[in-house]
């Protein structure tokens, strides 16, 4: 599907682009002073985590690795990408208490905003996992558009 889209863009819009590395503002997911408050998955636990047989716990946010957690935080509403800079590799039992996060996000009444949910999740990541977000700059791959034209009428 993506190849067909690339062909369509190239033929119809004379679209050309290239990838480049650019220094951008990011949040680095790093270990807090207290250290990691989660453990590596082992054996049978690793085989089924985060989705084991039976009903999934609705009150827990579960991730297997730190790059996945960083990606989740980016999608949740960070104003810049979140990248894993913990130096920890492997699979882990990473869980956050969703009712606690939502409770913190609705403080002051009313429905929780995306910004409040993101802030509450970042606080939970620090309190429950021993990780924090540090504002920094890092080289990231970006797509640079070289050329594009208005399409010709069919």
- Quick: pLDDT tens for 20-36: 999 999 999 999 998 99
- With 70 as the cut, is the pLDDT of residue 6 above it? yes
Per residue in 67-113, pLDDT tens?
999 999 999 988 999 999 999 998 888 889 888 998 998 876 778 88
pLDDT for res 69: 93
CB-count exposure of residue 36 (10 Å: 0-12, 13-18, 19+): middle
The pLDDT-based confidence of 43 (bands split at 50, 70, 90) is confident
Q: What is the percentage of the chain residues whose pLDDT exceeds 90?
A: 58
- With 80 as the cut, is the pLDDT of residue 57 above it? no
Instruction: Find the mean pLDDT for residues 58-62.
Output: 75
CB-count exposure of residue 129 (10 Å: 0-12, 13-18, 19+): buried
pLDDT for res 51: 65
């Amino acid at each position: 599907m993506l190849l067909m889209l690339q062909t369509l863009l190239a033929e119809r819009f004379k679209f050309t682009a290239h990838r480049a590395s650019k220094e951008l503002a990011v949040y680095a997911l790093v270990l807090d002073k207290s250290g990691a408050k989660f453990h590596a998955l082992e054996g049978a636990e690793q085989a089924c985590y985060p989705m084991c047989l039976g009903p999934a716990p609705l009150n827990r946010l579960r991730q297997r690795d730190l790059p996945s957690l960083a990606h989740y935080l980016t999608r949740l509403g960070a104003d810049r990408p979140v990248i894993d800079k913990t130096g920890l590799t492997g699979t882990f039992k990473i869980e956050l208490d969703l009712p606690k996060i939502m409770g913190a996000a609705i403080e002051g009444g009313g429905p929780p905003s995306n910004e409040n949910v993101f802030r509450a999740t970042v606080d939970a990541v620090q309190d429950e996992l021993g990780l924090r977000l540090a504002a920094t700059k890092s080289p990231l791959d970006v797509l640079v558009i070289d050329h594009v034209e208005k399409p010709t009428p069919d």
